[in-house]
């Protein structure tokens, strides 16, 4: 009788140090170029000493058209006569190796993988080095599983869409509402995943879903039918920013186009977006893949073309290289026969996908002899990986309110009532696009490490349809020294293809919270699990609820992290990566309105443009200590040198008082600002310094303010740390006009650093003469 997988997993972990595991993994056979295959090992495309493009061209030249066509889809066929195995391109690694895609499966020596907090939670850490570190761990585990024959090497992660509307069910997968934050997250997580060495990649990442995709299913409108009407300004200023960072700074190997149309054209058939922007302007060195079945959706659902072969041809000509789905495998042959595309068009698509496979070493012969070939079961769910998952959860938790009751005391709060539908959950903590975790610590289990617990769920699930368990919850609160309510959402409320109807707590959750708070003998703390914001104005204003914590979806170690924050082992330092709006906001804003800026009765979106009331603002987050900021070095004037080659005379004038970025010499050095961060409390703490800029007054296309940078710094109680911030006019003080052109407004800009405000005067300089 075989060992249960859970026991086998434990045995693997216990003896990992000896590099031994029950049921040893057989080595994966070579994908191609097997040195034992005399027919193929000497083929030109197998010779690793040749340049990549030479090898790619040789391989494509050996393929027949039918073979080429069957390589245009995610479940690519084997080509036995050339010694090439079949390959499944679709794997996911949003916040840990996932089995959502068919390319990855768990079992045997790989019963699970480290499950980090959901992305929205990790983004709240504002810690770039953490994001890259998580990426490296995830790709180590992915490579180990690939070596064991359980996963691929192409991972369609991360999701870097802007969390524009608080109801979006997939907002949890994103780094939040700010394009700079999302862009920095994208670049650093991709670098960690891909861990490039020269041209070689550990795994290939993919930034998705390009572009202006953030509706799944709302009020009768779904992602398959939605036409996102987006201005050039919002596209350049908001929606495209994280994708550009992903390609230009992160050097990502792939970009995924989305289901929706943008301004009447499917993204996967728009040459301006794919060939023009992603590959042309940004210089993608990799492949472009469709969201799954989106090429079919173009024809079957959107009726974009009259025939299926026209849809296939439009996608390939636009720059699509790989179809997640069968559509190109079925209809490309007829597209070629009808002359809608040529075989050369197919070759160009294959060149992009095969190049990435070669950069992954898939045509280099024996996997075990390659870099990362030594990774195996002992490298998955290691103690250091699981510790990083715990640390990520600690850093992402946000303290929203604290009237002084936190942290709890192990001497004064010996008995804690733990109440709520999310109080003893496990799988809920890992959100969506997750795999099988190494193990879990629920909030109840975490709190039990600090105090005796009395547990009542209060509601059978987050829908909380009845109040028949409320009395038991109230009784528990009356008899405890402190009460912790763990409430919020789960994937039954917000998920892919499930947008939220509103922002309030589901069902009768609010009643449960209020009744328990009234009954509680000691302090009452509300802990919220969710991806999106929740209108908890009632709790914010209720003096009986002394503290509110947002834990997001905190991953496999979430319960430990929550308890560590509650009892002060961890001093919280997370900041909200999205605005928490009141419920009445969504009544004024249809999800289908893609405009970012306010107009008429439309209030605008995100902290950058919306000026109305909020429950908690973007960047909000408290600490158990206090911090003070002081500007130690702060220039007051900056000169913007202009590119003299672009002007015919020296009589150039700034008619709009805003210089086009492409007319400025953007390779000029940044200006350095020094900010002293002093911990004025009595507890060590980590502070996230957020730096915003506001343009000169009167710039009609400008945001209210925009994030230009952030630093996370640990400061010991009573001491200070100096933080150095680079400010560059082109990158940090520019705005986008109504034509989608990025400009640098001249005049007085404001920097907002914590509670400080500093003015900088920008002046254009042409050949040393101020213009």
| R_g of the chain computed on alpha carbons | 27
What are the helix and strand counts (H, E) for the chain?
Answer: 21, 28
The answer to whether the beta carbons of residues 218 and 167 sit under 8 Å apart is: yes
Helix (H) or strand (E) holding 355: helix 343-359
Outline where 414-546 has alpha helix (H): 443-448, 470-478, 509-519, 537-540
Q: Which backbone phi and psi does 639 adopt, to 5 degrees?
A: -105, 135
Rounded to whole angstroms, the Cα distance separating 320 from 105 reads 27
The answer to whether the beta carbons of residues 573 and 395 sit under 8 Å apart is: yes
Question: What distances in angstroms separate CA 360 from CA 55, 152, 256, 355, one per listed residue?
Answer: 14, 10, 19, 9
The answer to whether the beta carbons of residues 28 and 85 sit under 8 Å apart is: no
Helix (H) or strand (E) holding 91: none
Residue in the block written with tokens 């891909």? 194
β-strand pairing of 671-679 with 217-218: unpaired
Rounded to whole angstroms, the Cα distance separating 645 from 643 reads 5
Across 348-359, b (16+ Cβ under 10 Å) vs e yields ebbbbbbbbbbb
Coil, strand, or helix at residue 663? Answer: helix
| DSSP string covering 283-319 | ---SEEEEPTTHHHHHHHTS--SSSHHHHHHHHHHHT
Burial class (CB in 10 A: 0-12, 13-18, 19+), 649: exposed
Count of beta carbons in the 10 Å neighbourhood of residue 197 = 9
Q: Quick one: which of 768, 624, 552, 533 has its CA closest to 119?
A: 552
Q: Quick one: which of 630, 80, 31, 21 has its CA closest to 356?
A: 31
Rounded to whole angstroms, the Cα distance separating 538 from 708 reads 33
Task: Give Cβ neighbours of residue 306 (< 8 Å, ≥ 6 apart).
Answer: none
Rounded to whole angstroms, the Cα distance separating 310 from 217 reads 28
What tokens appear for 78 in the block?
A: 């084997």
Annotation says 676 is catalytic? no
List the catalytic residue out of 291, 314, 379, 542: 291
Task: Give Cβ neighbours of residue 711 (< 8 Å, ≥ 6 apart).
Answer: 688, 689, 723, 725
Helix (H) or strand (E) holding 2: none
Rounded to whole angstroms, the maximal C-alpha distance in the chain is: 88
Task: Give Cβ neighbours of residue 64 (< 8 Å, ≥ 6 apart).
Answer: none
Q: Quick one: which of 536, 620, 551, 617 has its CA closest to 580?
A: 617
Q: Quick one: which of 607, 494, 633, 542 has its CA closest to 238?
A: 607
Which residues form the catalytic set? 291
């Amino acid at each position: 009788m075989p060992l249960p997988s859970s026991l086998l997993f434990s045995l693997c972990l216990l003896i990992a140090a000896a590099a031994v595991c029950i049921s040893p993994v057989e080595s994966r056979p070579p994908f191609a170029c097997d040195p034992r295959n005399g027919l193929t090992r000497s083929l030109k495309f197998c010779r690793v000493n040749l340049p990549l493009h030479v090898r790619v061209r040789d391989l494509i030249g050996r393929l027949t058209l039918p073979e080429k066509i069957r390589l245009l889809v995610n479940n690519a066929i084997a080509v036995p006569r050339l010694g090439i195995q079949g390959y499944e391109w679709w794997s996911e690694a949003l916040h840990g190796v996932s089995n959502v895609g068919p390319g990855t499966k768990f079992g045997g020596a790989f019963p699970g993988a480290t499950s980090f907090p959901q992305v929205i939670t990790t983004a709240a850490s504002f810690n770039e080095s953490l994001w890259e570190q998580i990426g490296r761990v995830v790709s180590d585990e992915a490579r180990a599983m690939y070596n064991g024959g359980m996963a691929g090497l192409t991972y369609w992660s991360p999701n870097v869409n802007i969390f524009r509307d608080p109801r979006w069910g997939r907002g949890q997968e994103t780094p939040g509402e700010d394009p700079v934050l999302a862009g920095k997250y994208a670049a650093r997580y991709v670098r960690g995943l891909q861990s490039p060495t020269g041209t070689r990649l550990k795994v290939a990442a993919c930034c998705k879903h390009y572009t202006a995709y953030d509706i799944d299913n709302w009020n009768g409108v779904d992602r398959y039918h939605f036409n996102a009407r987006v201005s050039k300004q919002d596209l350049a200023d908001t929606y495209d920013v994280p994708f550009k960072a992903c390609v230009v700074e992160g050097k990502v190997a792939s970009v995924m186009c989305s289901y929706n149309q943008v301004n009447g054209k499917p993204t996967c058939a728009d040459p301006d977006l794919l060939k023009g922007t992603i590959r042309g302007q940004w210089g993608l060195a990799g492949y472009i893949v469709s969201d799954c079945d989106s090429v079919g959706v173009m024809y079957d659902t959107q009726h974009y073309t009259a025939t299926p072969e026209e849809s296939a041809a439009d996608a390939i000509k636009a720059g699509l290289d790989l179809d997640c789905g069968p559509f190109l495998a079925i209809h490309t042959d007829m597209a070629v026969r009808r002359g809608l595309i040529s075989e050369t068009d197919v070759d160009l698509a294959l060149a992009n996908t095969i190049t990435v496979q070669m950069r992954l070493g898939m045509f280099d012969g024996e996997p075990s002899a390659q870099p990362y070939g030594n990774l195996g079961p002992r490298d998955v769910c290691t103690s250091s990986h699981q510790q990083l998952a715990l640390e990520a959860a600690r850093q992402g938790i946000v303290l929203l309110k604290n009237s002084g009751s936190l942290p709890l005391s192990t001497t004064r709060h010996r008995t804690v009532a733990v109440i709520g539908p999310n109080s003893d959950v496990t799988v809920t903590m890992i959100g969506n696009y997750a795999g099988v975790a190494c193990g879990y610590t629920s909030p109840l289990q975490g709190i039990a490490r600090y105090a005796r617990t009395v547990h009542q769920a209060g509601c059978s699930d987050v829908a909380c349809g009845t109040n028949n368990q409320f009395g038991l919850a109230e009784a528990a609160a009356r008899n405890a020294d402190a009460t912790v309510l763990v409430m919020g959402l789960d994937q039954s409320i917000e998920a892919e293809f499930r947008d939220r109807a509103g922002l309030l707590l589901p069902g009768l959750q609010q009643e449960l919270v209020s009744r328990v708070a009234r009954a509680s003998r000691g302090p009452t703390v509300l802990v919220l699990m969710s991806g999106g914001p929740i209108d908890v104005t009632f709790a914010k204003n209720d003096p009986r609820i002394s503290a509110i914590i947002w834990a997001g979806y905190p991953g496999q170690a979430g319960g430990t992290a929550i308890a560590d924050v509650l009892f002060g082992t961890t001093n919280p330092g997370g900041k909200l990566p999205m605005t928490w709006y009141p419920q009445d906001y969504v009544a004024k804003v249809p999800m289908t309105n893609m405009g970012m800026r306010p107009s008429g009765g439309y209030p605008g979106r995100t902290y950058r443009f919306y000026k109305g009331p909020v429950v908690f603002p973007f960047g909000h987050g408290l600490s158990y200590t206090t911090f003070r900021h002081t500007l130690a070095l702060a220039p007051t004037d900056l000169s913007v040198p202009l590119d003299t080659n672009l002007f015919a005379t020296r009589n150039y004038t700034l008619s709009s008082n805003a210089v086009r970025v492409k007319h400025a010499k953007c390779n000029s050095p940044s200006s350095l600002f020094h900010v002293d961060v002093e911990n004025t409390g009595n507890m060590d703490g980590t502070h996230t310094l957020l730096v915003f800029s506001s343009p000169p007054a009167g710039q009609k296309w400008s945001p209210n303010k925009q994030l230009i940078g952030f630093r996370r710094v640990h400061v010991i109680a009573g001491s200070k740390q100096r933080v150095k911030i680079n400010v560059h006019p082109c990158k940090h003080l520019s705005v986008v006009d109504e034509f989608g052109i990025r400009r640098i407004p001249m005049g007085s800009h404001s920097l907002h650093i914590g509670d400080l405000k500093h003015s900088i005067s920008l002046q254009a300089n042409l050949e040393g003469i101020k213009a």
